[in-house]
Amino acid sequence: MGLKIQQIHYYNFRNYSDYKLEDLGDLTLFIGPNAIGKTNLIEGIQLITAFTSFRSTKSDHLVKFGEQSAFVKALLRDDKRKLDMHFTLQEGKRAFLLNGKRKQIKSLRGILPSVVFSPDDLTFIKGSQSGKRAQIDNLGEQISVNYHTVRRDYERILRQKNKYLKESTSHGFLESVNEVLTTIGSQFFVLRAQLVQELIPYIQRFYSDLSAGREEVTINYIPSWDKYLSPDLIPNDFPQFSRSEAKEKLDAIIEQEFNREHQRGLALFGPHADQIIFMIDGKDASHFASQGQQRSLVLSFKMAEVALLKDKLDQTPVLLLDDVMSELDEVRRKQLIQVISQDMQTFITSTNLSYFDDDFLNKADIIHLDHDIHTEGSSEEGIRDE
């Protein structure tokens, strides 16, 4: 199994003043009413594993109202290592420490990755292309430091280009900006397309299990230089471009559509405008799949994230399930529970225990949350079922 979280401490984080959990096992259930702060606990774990949040990215939202600083720290252990991971917030500035020493995020990525599954993810298939790209990119950053670096560099040059377009900068100057954008953008395109391609067999395997093999899933990555006005025109073959070929395509389309970008005051071509299309039996799932099919596809995607991270990093990720059991039907809940049972540390939030059978509950640490855990001077350790 590798590293797992043994202890975690929240201090002035969201609505928690001073909340500690110790002797954490492989399966923890946080049970409590809505608005008690269950999601905050999941978010804190994601921040010290994936170093990002699936919610607001504003630092001041993470600090308890009226306080100036906050932290989340955890003790990670396996048979050979003992690591203190520490996330701090002070005066709006974030810092990460490993064993007491400040570290850059890039040196911490992949130590203990995590996968989050929340109700918002259930709209992933029919949601925006920006949401699909972000999910893929967040996964890529946990797998590869280089992925994070290229994504950051691309987003920086893209912001600069959009600024210059709005200022009606000359063609000559924008040509030099475009040269940088297409150089980095072609690298980003190749990295993301390769990641999507690596995910496909995992997603297909899990979806086949959910659909009893009755339906076939395919995924296509459509680069920004190709435009398809109808789902019927989406090709079935996956794009195969080298970095130099991708750069050549980007250079050509940006030069061709230079006037249109100036008129819009917006960069229209590059990885930020690529499309990721999920298809079931050759049809765009965002338009033609039923709600049940879309949810099976989302579940397959999340399971694929777990499997790919494990295979790439030789470390089982932490699975964080934020109140999704109430959104899934019985068949999909059972399928998800089967994945949870596969030697993986898992944290689940729920309003009640009725979604879980006795065998599952017997394996879990069940922590009941109530409003008393947020008050000063309380033990703030929740109530565990023994």
CATH label of the domain that carries residue 349: 3.40.50.300
Structural domain span for residue 18: 4-113+315-384
In angstroms, the CA 107 to CA 71 distance is 20
172 and 139 in a common domain = yes
Of the candidates 234, 259, 291, which is a domain's last residue? 291
In angstroms, the CA 223 to CA 244 distance is 14
Output the CA angle 76-58-165, nearest 5 degrees. Answer: 125
Average confidence score pLDDT of the chain: 90
252 and 109 in a common domain = no
155 and 281 in a common domain = yes
Which pLDDT score is estimated for 374?
Answer: 59
**Which residue stretches of the chain have pLDDT < 50?**
229-231, 376-380
Report how many domains make up the chain. Answer: 2
Output the CA angle 39-308-221, nearest 5 degrees. Answer: 95
In angstroms, the CA 284 to CA 295 distance is 14
In angstroms, the CA 261 to CA 21 distance is 53
- Close Cβ partners of 286 (under 8 Å, ≥ 6 residues apart): 125, 126, 127, 277, 278, 294
252 and 147 in a common domain = yes
**Which residue do the tokens 């590059």 mark?**
270
168 and 246 in a common domain = yes
304 within domain boundaries: no
In angstroms, the CA 207 to CA 294 distance is 10
35 within domain boundaries: yes
In terms of C-beta density within 10 A (0-12 exposed, 13-18 middle, 19 or more buried), how is residue 13 classed?
A: buried
**Dihedral sign for Cα atoms in the order 129, 135, 136, 141:** positive
CB 48, CB 85: distance < 8 Å:
yes
The 3-state DSSP class for residue 386 equals coil
**Which residue do the tokens 């009893």 mark?**
212
303 within domain boundaries: no
75 and 10 in a common domain = yes
Of the candidates 291, 323, 345, which is a domain's last residue? 291
pTM: 0.89
154 and 280 in a common domain = yes
CB 214, CB 315: distance < 8 Å:
no
Q: Which amino acid is at 41?
A: L
335 within domain boundaries: yes
261 within domain boundaries: yes
204 within domain boundaries: no
274 and 326 in a common domain = no
173 and 34 in a common domain = no
**Which residue do the tokens 């397309």 mark?**
193
283 and 188 in a common domain = yes
Of the candidates 291, 307, 323, which is a domain's last residue? 291
Among the listed residues 104, 99, 73, 100, the one whose alpha carbon sits nearest the alpha carbon of residue 87: 73
Residue range 210-269, pLDDT digits in tens: 888 889 999 989 999 986 544 455 555 667 889 999 999 999 999 999 999 999 999 999
CB 343, CB 221: distance < 8 Å:
no
Q: Which amino acid is at 179?
A: E
271 and 168 in a common domain = yes
287 and 325 in a common domain = no
CB 297, CB 125: distance < 8 Å:
yes
In angstroms, the CA 101 to CA 32 distance is 36
Q: Which stretch of DSSP H or E encloses residue 156?
A: helix 145-166
In angstroms, the CA 307 to CA 203 distance is 10
Which pLDDT score is estimated for 234?
Answer: 55
207 within domain boundaries: no
Residue range 162-193, pLDDT digits in tens: 999 999 888 889 999 999 999 999 999 999 99
| Overall size of the chain counted in residues | 386
203 within domain boundaries: no
Among the listed residues 379, 380, 369, 375, the one whose alpha carbon sits nearest the alpha carbon of residue 30: 369
CATH label of the domain that carries residue 248: 1.20.1050.90
